[in-house]
Structures are given as C-alpha cells and as structure tokens.
Structure 1
Amino acid sequence: MPQPVLTRKIKSFQLIALVFFTVSGGPYGLEPLLSYAGEHAAFLILLVTPLLWDVPAIFTVLELNSMMPVTGGYYKWVKHALGTRWGFYEGWWTWIYTFVDLAIYPVLFVTYASFFFPGIEDYRIPVCLVIVWLSAGLNILGIVPVGRTALFLGAAVLSPLVILIVLVIYQHSGIISVPSQTLHGLPFSSIGMALYTVMWNCLGWDNITTYAEEVEKPTRSYLVSTFTAFALVMVIYFFGIMVAQQSGIDHNTFLESGFPALGELVGGHWLGAILAMGGMASSLGIYAAVLLSVSRVPKAMAGDGLLPKKLNVLHSRFQTPYVSIIICSIVVSFMILWPFAELLIIDVTVYGAGLSLEYISLIKLRITSPNVKRPFKIPLNVAGLCAIMILPFGVYFIALAGAFSSTPKSIQAAIFAICTLLTAELAWRLIIWRKPHLKNS
C-alpha cells in the first residue's frame, strides 16, 4: 500500500535553524577545548579542523543530495552506489552513532540547569527522560513544528552569546589579541582529545538530508542553508573561545561550569543566568533536530526490507514515522547512563566510519554515473576528490590514535566504538539468514 504524500514542507529559513542545531547548537559543549589544547593551540585546532573535517563532508553531502534528495539521505546514497550490504552498514552505523549523540544533550541540559537548581544532578536520569519523551512527542507532530521550535530556540541560544561577545569587546576597548598558535609541546593525547572535541561540535552535515522530501526546493534550500549555517557556526565558535580566552577564566572552571561561569565572570549573575538558559535551549534544540533526522533512516531501511516493516508506518494524522521515533527514544533512554567524555569518543568514531562510506560513494558514482544530473557538483575530477578525501581521514585517525594514548576510560570508549562498528556485520548476517535473496544485492 503506498504511503500518503507529505504536503507540509519546511522553507529555507527553517532549514537553516535545523541545520544549525543538527550540527552545532552554539558553542555549548566546546568548553573542554581550552583544557585540552591550551590558549596556544585552541584557535589553531578550532579553525583548521573544520577545514579538513567539515568542508569535504559539506561538499560531498551537497553533491550527493542534489543527485538524490530522498527520504533516508545518506543511507540511500550508499545503497545506490555500493549495494545493499554497504547501505545497511551505513544506516546501521549512523543509527547507532545518533543514539550516542542524542544521549549527550539531555545530560548537557542538566549541567546548565544546575546553574538555577544546584541539586538537579541528583535527579539527572528522570530529567533526561522527560526531555527525551517531550522531544519524541514534538517530532511525532511533524517537521514543521520542529522547524518552528528550532527557530525560537535558535534565538534563545544566540541572543545571550551576542551580549557576552559585545560586552567582552567593550571591556577590552575593542582590542582583541589572539596568542601565538602552535602544537609544539602539546601531548599527542591532548591533541587527539582536542580534535574529538572540535569534530564532535562540527559533525552531522549528512544528517540534515534524511528528510529532503519534506523540504521545499531541496537542492537550492540545502545549498543556501548549509553554507549559511557553516558560516554562522564558525563565527560563533571563534568568538566563543575568544571571549573565554580574553576573560582569563580558569580552564578547569570553564570546563566544569561552562559558559554560565564565563558570563558571571564577565557581566555578573544576570549574564550567567541567560547563558545558562541559552545552554538549556541549545540542548533541547539539538536533541529535537537530531531526532528528526535519525528517525527517517530506519523508516527508509524498513521500506527496503532491511528492518521490520513496522518502522515504515506513518502516523495516521501527522504522517510522521512515529514507531521509529518511539524506538529511537527508548534506546536513548538507556544511553543517557554513559559519562559525557566517553560518549563523545564513541560518537565521533562511529560517525566517521559512516562518513567514509559517503566519500567512497561519491567517488564511485563519479566513475559509474558521470552523466547523471548533479545540480550541485564539486569542481574536481576523480583524482582531485581522492586527494581531498585524505584530509578528513587523516584527522579521523589522528583523533582515534590520540584517544588510544589517553586515559584508560578513553581507551575503553574507543574499543567499545570499534566493537560497535563490528555489530553491523553481525546484524547483516542475521538479515541474509532470514532473507537469502539480499546476499548478492
């Protein structure tokens, strides 16, 4: 039976807000960077990492999405280019990574809420569960309510940051100095963890494509929204770290108490309070936007017979994949038990593996389908693409190696992430045992 046609679609300005929250949500979560990298390497890592890690991903996503703007996004691209098995790997890995990613934000919400309620950490799990299931309800209502909520929360995130930045610049009479930048003397493990911090704060560009059929004029909308969001994210990150550095805040205090502590130092309790509210809004916005993207992947996989058909069912009124949303929320309800640092390592490691399949798919389709219409095309030939793709792979493996040379908990998280990647093969074997005809597809 054919699924009903979705008629309510979001516009470019709403998509910008969704991209912003899917990828960033502001500098909240970037606080560990100064502790890992120090003032003499933080800006270098912050500015260079997105060029090597994000820019190739953005251009890859834009080209593939212009070819196939379909529900399921990256899963459909990889399946089309590399076959059903690798498409399943892509969907499985990104589904798991997003569970980990989603589990981070309710925990961050509690961290910022502790500014107003110092004892709230004792109730972390029930508060996190409330956020998980309220966001599930919002997503079941559809992409338009999520987009409108993202616009509102975006204003709540950006306004306090603008006040903070302006106040710091005013206090320093407009004279802003950036320390000389070098990696010399920085331990390799610290470099690795600093890279993980920036990579995590800049990932998810492919996630925004899973609901492409629910976007008006998807090719143009994604092009405008993605570049606008990237510029906004980089400006906010630079000034966020810059004001922390200019304020002279202790790095450990900044790590433990975040931007609210920075606000108190710069402008007093009132500024700390609105920055804490901004951090809470950021966590809510990111969670809702990421849940929106991940819930479309199992729906698409179920439509192809790789997951139970029930996941492909749409809500009778709102036309949303409500079963997928509910299952995602159940899994995340258990994942919130992990500590933040370990979640970050698992998150980036699993995400990077899925992203690598998208790069390979881009090159494969350039070779096998050179004449297929691409409204957006990277101005490089196959050899150029291969050369550029070395950059994100290099950053990825340096970060992973740094985690293995770090603390025992970091090593355990990295090993867990690798084991998680291997579960895709086990799940695939189970599928072809039940459906042998998929083995050679």
Structure 2
Amino acid sequence: MQEQPQEELKRSLGLWSALSIVIGTIIGSGIFFKQGAVLDSAGSSTMAIFAWIFGGVITLAAGLTIAEIGSQMPYTGGLYVYIENLYGRIWGFLAGWMQVIVYGPAIIASVAGFMAIMMTNLFGLSSDWRIPLALITILFIGALNLLENKVGAAFSVITTAGKLIPIAAIIIFGLLWGHHNAFGQTVGQVSQAGGGFGVAVLATLFGYDGWILIANLGGEMKNPQKLLPKAIVIGITAVLVIYTLITVGVLRFLPAIMIHKLGDNATSYLAMAAFGQMGGKLLSIGIIVSMMGTINGKILTFPRIVYAMAKRHDLPFSRPLSYLTPKSKSPVVATLFIIVLATIMMLFFDPDHLSDLCVFTVYCFYTLAFFGIFILRRNKLVKRPFSTPWYPFVPLVAIAGGIFVLISEIFNDPEGVLLFIGIVVVGLPVFYLVKKIDRRHE
C-alpha cells in the first residue's frame, strides 16, 4: 500500500463531531424534497416506503464495506485515497477529479437549490430569488469554513441538533395525528411515467448520500482507525430509521395523490397545514437550518479532497490549492475553488436533475471501492482495525446496489450520464499534462 505524505491538518475531531458530520451531511434536502419523486416512481405508498428502506439497506451495506477499507487507510482524501491504493494512481486521480470537479460542486449546488425553494416559499418570494438566496447561503457557509476546522465542525453539531426538531415534529405529528393509512395508497396514473421501483430507489439514494464524506477528514480525527467505522455505521443506521419514520409520517398526514400534485412543495404545505401559519414557518426554518448543515458538511469535507490532491501535485495550480493558513490550518484556496464551481453548477443546472446525476457519478467509484474489500482481504499482512460483519454477504449487497444504481440511471437519463462521464474522462489529459509539467520542473 502506498505511503501517504505527512499531514499538516489538525487532528481535533472526536466522535460527536464525526457523528454530527455524518448525520448532518446526510439529512438535508433529500428526505424533504424527494418524497414526491419517490412516490411517483414507486407508484404506491407501500412501495415508496420500501424504496426508502431498500435505499437505506444499500447505503448501510456500502457504509459497512467502506468502514473496513477506511480503517486501513485513515488519511485525508477518503475515496480518492482508497481508489488510488487499490487500483493505482490514474484511477485514484479520476476518483478525486470526479469529486472536486463534478460531484462535490454539483451536490452543494443541488442542496442549495432545494433550500432556496424552501426559503422562497417561507418568505413568499418569487422564484427569481432562488439563485441569489442559494448563492448567499453558500458564500456565508463557505466563509465559516475558511476558519479553523473546529468552527465548521461546531456549526455541524449545532445544525444537526437543530434539524432534529422539525424531524421529530413531522414524525410525531404524522404518526399520532395523521388520518391516512401510510400503506396501500396508489398513484397508478403516474407510476408508469415515473420510471418504476428502480428509479424510486435511485431517488432515495440522493437522500442517503453524503455518508462517505467523513472519510475525507480521516487526517483530522483523533483516532480514525476506530472512530471512522463507528461514525459511519452509527450515523447511517440512525438516518435509515429516521427516514423510514418521516416517510410513514408524511404519508399518514398527506394523501399520496396530494404529495404527487405538490411535488417539491409538499413539505412546506405539510408544515403549514400541521402547525398553522406561525408553527409552519418555524418548522420550515428548522428544515432550512437542516439543509444549511448539509451544505456546511459538504463545504467542510470536499476542499480536503482538493487539498489532498494538490499535496500530491495532481491538480493544476497545486501550490495555491494546497495552501493552509498558518494559524488555523484551513485549506482556504481549496474551499474557494469548490465554492466557485458550485456557483457555476447552480447557474446552469436544475437541482433535481443534478441530484440524480451526482448519485450516478459517485456510485461509479463507490462500486470500484466496494470490490476493493476483496483485494485487501487477500493481503494477510495488512492490519484490519474494523471488519465488515457478515462478510462477504454485506460487500456483495453493496456491489449489487452500486450496479443497480448505475444501470437504473443509464436507462433513465442516458444524455445526462454521458455528459457527466465526459467531464470525468476529461480528467485524463489533465492528469498527464500536470505530470508532464512536473517532470519539466524536476
């Protein structure tokens, strides 16, 4: 296994910070804005609930698999580092390139776009305000993450605690005061156009995505070999339970056909209908805070990939991109780089479309990483601080889930898939150009 360069980032993150980043990064816009999309594709409330559970099981299997791999490579960079050590420098570069050029900025833009929809509904603004509000939020959270990593981690803890309020309110109100049967409602007239159960599960995976980003902070954890697997497994399990309860609560309060008609506005409607004008506004604010926490987790973690790649001279302008502030050890230029790309994505893509393409792109490399557990198991000399339970069944479930995601999105949106694959492949000439320049300066 390849030696990693000495890290200069501060090892200051403990279990609660790590857990808040995992849960806070996962629970954001997906569970609040994907209810309609999942229901439309699944065709019935029962299948929609199963889609959320199935997506959670796939994610948990993926998390358990990556937890074993990550415990053996506790370095800053996460998936970028795993793929390189498993498959070589070029594949590692493409995994990093995919995250910093495509996936990271796109996922930030997508969540910010959904959050702006919620904000315009809350304040009664026109849709023209969506992009400015999303941009202001990204710049504000980006500014926080230019400070020491403890600031971004503290914001994650606060927003994670804050988001539990609207989540608990929706679950309790829906389960106790909802009048509809959460199971057995049908929306047959839209199920055929929606894409079926496969596309429904794909939509849920956007809601579950983000769990692996804690691996990007491996070089900043106090005891990453033990802490990283614990944070991933506990975090994903908690989110799976929460998502299932929220879905049942929403379906008990709103009939399926109304969720279909309301689309992205279903959560705002539920908040106002359940808790009145003032209570609904407070609940909507809680959901917005939830999304801000998700954006914070992503702006905190993705620049660490840029930093890790720049330290290896894998990117153009690696010297400024690897710069750390003298006191706080914060990768400020890398953070600004991610913010600029997210802004570009926000201006040119619809957030719902972005979310599906993000899941497809990252699962290309997730699936490669899942296969890596079998490669590492063959090396008896490598110490394994964490072992995936029920091996090899759990990794095989993760692999099957990854292949399922890829096939579903290829059939659902071949043009978008080709576009995002094209952006990733462009990384190859960039890699060789950067290495050529490096050789000239040696």
Structure-1-length-normalised TM-score: 0.88
For residues 187 and 66 of structure 2, the distance between their equivalents in structure 1, rounded to whole angstroms, comes to: 32
Residues 142/181 of structure 1: CA separation in 2 closer, same or farther (3 Å cut)? farther
1:310 to 2:320 alignment = yes
Cα distance 1:272–1:35, how it changes in 2: closer, same or farther (>3 A)? farther
SS in 2 for 1:196: helix
The amino acid of 1:29's aligned partner reads F
Equivalent residue number for residue 69 of structure 2: 64
Gap regions ≥5 residues in structure 2? none
Q: 1:260 aligns with which of 258, 268, 274?
A: 268
Say if 2:118 is the partner of 1:107: no
CA contact 2:109–2:342 (8 Å) conserved in 1: yes
Cα distance 1:372–1:164, how it changes in 2: closer, same or farther (>3 A)?
A: same
Name 1:98's counterpart in structure 2: 104
Cα distance in 1, alignment partners of residues 395 and 245 from structure 2: 33
Asked if 1:286 corresponds to 2:294, the answer is yes
Report the counterpart of residue 384 of structure 2 in structure 1. 374
Q: 1:387 and 1:222, CA in 2 relative to 1: closer, same or farther beyond 3 A?
A: closer
1-side partners of 2:385 and 2:114: how far apart? 39
- Residue identity in the other structure for 1:71: T
Deviation at 1:256, TM superposition (A): 3.0
Separation in 2 of the partners of 1:219 and 1:181?
Answer: 46
Matches within 5 A, 1:192-211: 192-211=198-217
Q: For residues 215-272 of structure 1, what are the alpha-carbon distances to aligned partners after superposition, in whole Å with 9 as ceiling and x for unaligned?
A: 2222332233222221221122112111221113402344231322112222322332
**How far 1:177 sits from its partner (Å)?**
5.0
What are the residue-to-residue correspondences of 1:94-243 with 2, within 5 Å? 94-95=99-100, 96-172=102-178, 177-179=182-184, 186-187=191-192, 189-243=195-249
RMSD: 2.7
2:32 is the counterpart of 1:28: yes
CA distance in 2, matches of 1:282, 1:128: 14
> Within the alignment, does 1:323 sit opposite 2:320 as a pair?
no
Give per-residue Cα distances to partners, 1:9-47, cap 9 Å, x unaligned: 122112111101222237223322223323131011111
Query: In structure 2, how many angstroms separate the alpha carbons of the residues matched to 1:420 and 1:254?
Result: 34
Task: Give 3-state SS (helix, strand or coil) of 1:41's partner.
Answer: helix
Deviation at 1:391, TM superposition (A): 1.5
The structural deviation recorded for 1:430 is 2.6
- The structural deviation recorded for 1:420 is 2.3
Structure 1's 203 and 116: CA in aligned 2 closer, same or farther, altered over 3 A? closer
> How many residues are matched?
426
Q: For residues 389 and 80 of structure 2, what CA distance do their matches in structure 1 show?
A: 24
Looking at structure 2, the residues matched to 427 and 167 of structure 1 have their Cα atoms a distance apart, in angstroms, of 53
Q: Please tell me whether the aligned partners of residues 24 and 201 of structure 1 are also in contact (alpha carbons under 8 angstroms).
A: yes
Pair 106,385 (structure 1): closer, same or farther in 2 beyond 3 Å? closer
1:332 partnered with 2:336: no
Matched, 1:417 2:426: no
% identical aligned pairs? 20
2:356 aligns with 345
Question: Which of the residues 21, 24, 34 maps onto 1:18?
Answer: 21
Q: Which has the higher helix share?
A: 2
Letter of the 2:160 partner, please give it. G
Tell me the secondary structure at the aligned position of residue 266 of structure 2: helix
State TM-score, norm by structure 2.
0.88
CA contact (8 A) 1:94 1:354 kept: no
Amino acid across the alignment from 2:254: G
Give yes or no for the alignment of 1:426 onto 2:429: yes
Distance 1:436 1:386, change over 3 A: farther
User: Which of the numbers 65, 86, 90 marks the counterpart of 2:91?
Assistant: 86
Q: Distance in 1 between matches of 2:368 and 2:34?
A: 27
What letter is aligned with 2:141?
S
Question: Residue type matched to 2:16 in 1?
Answer: F
Structure 2 residue 79 is the aligned partner of structure 1 residue 74? yes
Partner residue in 2 for 1:391: 400
Distance in structure 1 (CA, Å) of the matches to 2:63 and 2:227: 14
SS for the counterpart of 2:145 is helix
Alignment-derived partner of residue 407 in structure 1: none
CA distance in 2 between partners of 1:306 and 1:277 (Å): 41
Give the conservation status (yes or no) of the 8 Å contact 2:60–2:237. Answer: no
| Distance across 2 between alignment mates of 1:182 and 1:40 | 11
Once residues 417 and 7 of structure 1 are traced to their aligned partners in structure 2, the CA distance between those partners, rounded to angstroms, is 34
Relative distance call for 1:431 and 1:314 in structure 2 (3 A) is: same
Contact in 2 for aligned 1:10/1:214 (Cα 8 Å):
yes
